[in-house]
Amino acid sequence: MSEQISEETMTTTPTLPLIVLDGAVVFPYTVVSLPLDDESATIVEASIKEDRRLVLLAARREDADTDAPLAEQLYRVGVVARIEQTGMLPNGMSGFVVRGLVRAEIDAQDQSAAYLRFAFTRRADQFERTTDLEHLMVEVHAAIDAVLDLRPGIPQEIRNYVRSIDDPGQLADNTGYSQDYTFAERQDLLETFDVAERLVKVRDFYRKQFALLEVQARLRQEVQDSAAKQQREFFLRQQMRAIQKELGEDDSETADFDDLREKLAAANLPEVAKKEADRELARLGRINSASPEYQMVRTYLEWLAELPWNNPTGGAINIAHAREVLDADHYGLQKVKERILEYLAVKQRRVLLADDAGRSREPILAFVGPPGVGKTSLGQSIAKALGRSFVRMSLGGVRDEAELRGFRRTYIGSAPGRLIQELRRVGTSDPVIVLDEIDKLGMDYRGDPAAALLEVLDPEQNDTFTDHYLNIPFDLSKVLFIATANTFDTVPPALRDRMEVIELSGYTEDDKVRIAEQHLVPRQIKSNGLRSEEVSVEEQALRSIIGDYTREAGVRNLERQIGTVLRKVTRRLAEYSGDPPAEEGAATEQVRVTPDFVREALGRPRFYNEARERIDQPGVATGLVWTPVGGDIVFVEASTVEGNKELRLTGQLGDVMRESAEAALTYVRSRTNVLGIDPKFFDTHALHIHVPGGAVPKDGPSAGITMATALASAATGRLVRDDVAMTGEITLRGRVLPIGGVKEKALGAHRAGIRTVIIPHRNEADLEDLPSEVRDELTFVPVETLDDVLATALLPLGAHPRATLNSIINLARPEGVIQGKEG
């Protein structure tokens, strides 16, 4: 009867009041309670009085623009419902109960009404019961039953009600209130007018829900089974232990536990570590051995037991033996050897004076120098001289702080940092640890490894170094740390301040020859299957390899080239002499390695050293430069042409070098009267300074006096002496300031055939670092002003370019000339 009344009313009423729903959808065949606000209360009252309790229900779009007209905010499909009851809801709010009757398409709004009122089009379910539709309903019932079976706590009345629904449309609409539907899915189901299509959506939805619930149920059951199994195993093991204890028997697990206890007792742990070990050991006894936490605690205790807490190995100090070891393993490096011997002497005296009872503070040494000069191998020699274990840790590319300080035990698979790992590996508490390539440490979001080293390399703090994994202090004060770096520019200042820096400069050619003869050649002879009586390497051959085939400050590439030459010797002996003699000392043909043999083995020379050139025109001066592979000479060319006041600089010069050229030009212009230059010369001439080797970037202030000399020579027409090279920074007042790399630059000048070197007066003390044979063969002229430089370097007008220092000494000679061998 109610359905007939509804249809009659809907036929005679072209419009109905509309209630807007926010986040809710009402389906036909369902009864729903809705909250009642002031606006909806007016509409409900009007519907009861004027429209036989009928009302339109439509949902508002989730992305609706609240400023747009209401018709544009609503979904176009809603439902015609009948108001069944009004009153108080269970939560105490005013509300009303509606019953959904039929779908409706919302049309235009009635603007004449005092409240929301819309026209609509009734969309009743229309279907034909076919075999396919019956099968589809069976599938929907089965899918819903399967989901209800997996949901605990669903009343049997709900199951019976769903099974009793025989109307296809009603079956699909009643499922729309499932808690698993989203708002969008409910609206989509409401807008599906075709009954069969609606049933397909319901079936597919519940099949997906069944698959999800099935996985959840399986995982839940697995967790419950695992927990029950662990509890069962724990009780069984406890019972087994109790039975074995009564029988006086023991199992392997108990034996392992006792063995771990004995290891910890013998580890000589400090008090803090012993308390932590006892606490963790007691905790281990209460944990089920099948638990993952059991293995984590056991691994931690094994680390504590195996670390060398107080196990020094260094023997009695013998200064003479230490000197022999250092001299045998390394040629030169006197400063480094002296510092090591001083350290050993201090430590020896403290032992003799019984003053070594307190905490030992080992020095933190840092060897800084170019590649291949022996920084790392020097650490091995120090360990050998001290009788300690040697550890090398490469820090190049390390970006994670945890690599040094370890990972906390909260992480699966955590472990101590590399420092603690290396100490356990060597088994001693006083090894020599070389922190190689400390200048190449990285940094990212995982932390700054350089900051972690601040505690490690501070003698005042490293006795309480705390690894994140151990979480207890470990004494690193007995460890001798040695850092190596190619440059200290990239090392943070705080870390640099904790280390004693010892610089290792490049080797001279004579040094490399001696190193090759004493170390490299014998080692390569053995590595390439030769015997010392089968091959001899001439000194000139070594010098040929050093000068023509290597360009480095160290000897690493030199050893590689020597190995290449000796492999050719091995091949020659194998081809022409057959099998090597079986007996030691048997006669064999000896191969002599000469410069010609080197040329045949290595091919054409790869490097050409700049050599002294004859300077036969003004504007060319010889300067000195520092490179990572040693010092060298460079020619600075200056030329003047008629034109405007322009200064051009070429040769890939950096900003500092360009500024030095401008300062040099300003000073030369200020001294035109003294130098005999026409005051208008620079106004009518353009200047061009060029430094050959345009593919190589150049920068630095040390070429200032060289460029000033070249400019003065070009402007006066006076030649520059070709046996003189110079280095120094210039100021606008003509002062010559000190520079760096004096040793390397002097060696480069000596190698190029230069015999007179002009240096800043304040660099005179640096000459003490030069080898005596080089210092004896060079004449050094310390200068304080550019006038002193020009007096030494420029020849008088018309003088022969080969004029020597003695031939012009009467013209001008600055005080303080440091002269080597006469002639």
Rounded Cα distance between 728 and 623, Å, is 9
Single-letter code of the amino acid located at 613 = E
Q: If 0-12 CB within 10 Å is exposed, 13-18 middle and 19+ buried, where does residue 567 land? A: middle
Please give the sequence-ordered ranges of beta strands (E in DSSP) within 643-709, or none if there are none.
647-650, 685-690
- Which runs of consecutive H residues, i.e. helices, occur in 372-504? 375-386, 402-405, 418-426, 449-456, 493-496
Rounded Cα distance between 708 and 786, Å, is 8
Single-letter code of the amino acid located at 125 = D
Catalytic residue among 745, 772, 807, 821: 745
Of 595, 598, 585, 593, the closest CA to residue 533 belongs to 585
Q: Which helix (H) or strand (E) holds 573?
A: helix 556-577
Supply the DSSP string of 251-277, one letter for each residue. Answer: -HHHHHHHHHHHHHHHT---HHHHHHH
Contact assessment for residue 506 and residue 554, using Cβ atoms and an 8 Å cutoff = yes
- The pairing of strands 432-436 and 480-485 is parallel
Please give the sequence-ordered ranges of beta strands (E in DSSP) within 387-530, or none if there are none.
390-394, 432-436, 465-466, 473-474, 480-485, 500-503
In this structure, the number of other CB atoms found within 10 A of the CB of residue 722 comes to 21
Rounded Cα distance between 400 and 403, Å, is 6
Contact assessment for residue 710 and residue 689, using Cβ atoms and an 8 Å cutoff = yes
Of 748, 732, 747, 730, the closest CA to residue 789 belongs to 730
With tokens 């322009």, the residue in question is 646
Q: DSSP character for 645?
A: S
Catalytic residue among 6, 702, 713, 743: 702
Contact assessment for residue 284 and residue 257, using Cβ atoms and an 8 Å cutoff = yes
| Known catalytic membership, residue 702 | yes
DSSP, collapsed to helix, strand or coil, labels residue 216 as helix
Rounded Cα distance between 391 and 40, Å, is 83
Rounded Cα distance between 624 and 752, Å, is 11
Contact assessment for residue 637 and residue 703, using Cβ atoms and an 8 Å cutoff = no
Rounded Cα distance between 664 and 609, Å, is 28
Longest dimension (CA), the chain: 139
In this structure, the number of other CB atoms found within 10 A of the CB of residue 191 comes to 16
Asked whether the CA dihedral 17, 18, 19, 24 is positive or negative, the reply is positive
Sequence-distant (≥ 6) Cβ neighbours of residue 94 within 8 angstroms: 35, 36, 41, 86, 87, 88
Sequence-distant (≥ 6) Cβ neighbours of residue 577 within 8 angstroms: 588, 589
Rounded Cα distance between 616 and 722, Å, is 9
| Known catalytic membership, residue 745 | yes
Contact assessment for residue 60 and residue 22, using Cβ atoms and an 8 Å cutoff = yes
Supply the DSSP string of 650-715, one letter for each residue. Answer: ESSB-HHHHHHHHHHHHHHHHTHHHHT--TTHHHHEEEEEE-S-TTS-B--STTHHHHHHHHHHHH
- The pairing of strands 756-760 and 724-726 is parallel
Rounded Cα distance between 724 and 631, Å, is 15
In this structure, the number of other CB atoms found within 10 A of the CB of residue 695 comes to 6
Sequence-distant (≥ 6) Cβ neighbours of residue 542 within 8 angstroms: 512, 513, 516, 517, 521, 562
Contact assessment for residue 94 and residue 41, using Cβ atoms and an 8 Å cutoff = yes
Asked whether the CA dihedral 768, 773, 775, 776 is positive or negative, the reply is positive
Rounded Cα distance between 164 and 29, Å, is 14
| Residues recognised as catalytic | 702, 745
